[in-house]
Structure formats: structure tokens, C-alpha cells
Amino acid sequence: MAFLRDTDPSPRELFLPAILVGSLGLSGFVPRARGTAGTAVCLLVGLGLFVVDLHAGLWLPLAAATAAFSWIAGSQVLRRLPDLKDPSWFVMDEAAGYFLTLGLLRADSLLAILAGFLTFRFYDIAKPWPVRSFERIPGSLGILADDLAAGVLAAWTCFAVTAISSALV
């Protein structure tokens, strides 16, 4: 399969449960910007929950459940592929970080959902201090921790921008 990289699982392994979950239904196998693709799947989930008005109060439990699944799937993947530190196709950790951002924001508007997406992706890609320091944690906890840190910083940034813009008006 042309979209697979040398470090990706073989085509036979793509449909193993841990890989399906860890790649968010194979969204982590797009050719470029895999983390953004995985987070975009979560953006669609967030928009869908908003449209059907089921968003209120769901973000923190969704973030917690996603984080738990991420950690479990991450452990399974790392056990099968011990040479990989943080495989690029494993995007369930991005889901946990983005949903944490939305949970902390109590995202109740399209603007909050989109701002959360953009700020989370910024921090997840740029990895400023202290986000990068969490990558040093070994195993699946390290894979997850940097994305949770990016999620916290993204929410903090959205709060700060809102507070500053409110003070200026």
C-alpha cells in the first residue's frame, strides 16, 4: 500500500484492534499531517455533538475515556512494535489532548470548538516547553502526556485570549 511508511504496521496488521483504535479508524495513516488528520476526526465528532446539541457536559468524560483507550491501545501497540517510540500513525493521543482542550473550555460554541482545534494543533506541533519535556516519559504514558500538556496549554491560551479581548472591549 503506497500510503504506508517503512515504520508502519504491515497491511495484514492494520486491522488489529489496537491499531484500529490507536489510529482512530485508520485516520492516522494518511500520507501527510497524520496528527492533524486524527484531530480532524475528533473535530468532526465535536461538531456533530454540537449540531445535535449533545455537547454540554460531555467533553471531560469523553476526554477521560479517550485518554484511557489511548493508554491501553498504546501499551498494546508498543508491546507489538517495541522499536517505535511514538509512531506517527498512533493518533488516539491527539484525540485525548483535543478532547481535554474542549473539556477544559466547556466548549459550547462553534468558535470554541474551532479555536480549541487550532490552538491544540499549534501546541502539539510546535511542542514548546513544557510540552516537549513530557515526551521523555517512557512508554505509552509519554506518548499520551505530551498531548495532554498541549491540550492544557491550548485551553489556557483560549482563556487568556478571551480574557484579554473582553478587557479591551
pLDDT given at position 32: 92
Q: What is the DSSP letter of 32?
A: S
Containing structural domain, residue 164: 36-168
What's the pLDDT at 98?
95
| d(C-alpha 37, C-alpha 30), whole Å | 7
Grid cell for residue 141 = 504514558
DSSP H/E element including 149: helix 139-168
Is residue 48 in some structural domain?
Answer: yes
Q: To 10 degrees, the CA torsion angle through 62, 47, 100, 39?
A: 110
pLDDT of the residue at 1: 57
CA–CA separation, 92 vs 62, rounded Å? 12
pLDDT by 10s per residue, the chain, length 169: 566 787 788 888 888 888 888 899 999 999 999 999 999 999 999 898 888 877 667 787 888 888 888 878 777 777 777 667 778 899 999 999 999 999 999 888 999 999 999 999 999 999 999 999 999 998 778 888 999 999 999 999 999 999 999 999 8
pTM: 0.89
Neighbours of 12 (CB within 10 A): 7
Residue ranges in 33-138 assigned as alpha helix (H): 34-51, 59-80, 92-105, 110-126, 131-134
Give the per-residue pLDDT at 128.
97
- The reply to whether 3 falls in a domain is no
Tell me how far apart the alpha carbons of residues 9 and 5 are, in angstroms, rounded to a whole number.
8
For residue 16, being part of any structural domain is answered with no
8 within domain boundaries: no
Q: Is residue 53 part of a domain?
A: yes
Domain count, the chain: 1
Residue 76 placed within a domain = yes
Determine the distance from the C-alpha atom of residue 140 to the mean position of all C-alpha atoms in its chain, rounded to a whole number.
14
> Does 17 map to a domain?
no
- Per-residue confidence (pLDDT) for residue 54, from 0 to 100: 73
User: Between the CA atoms of 161, 63, 44 and 128, what dihedral angle is there, to the nearest 10 degrees?
Assistant: 50
Residue 10 forms part of a structural domain = no
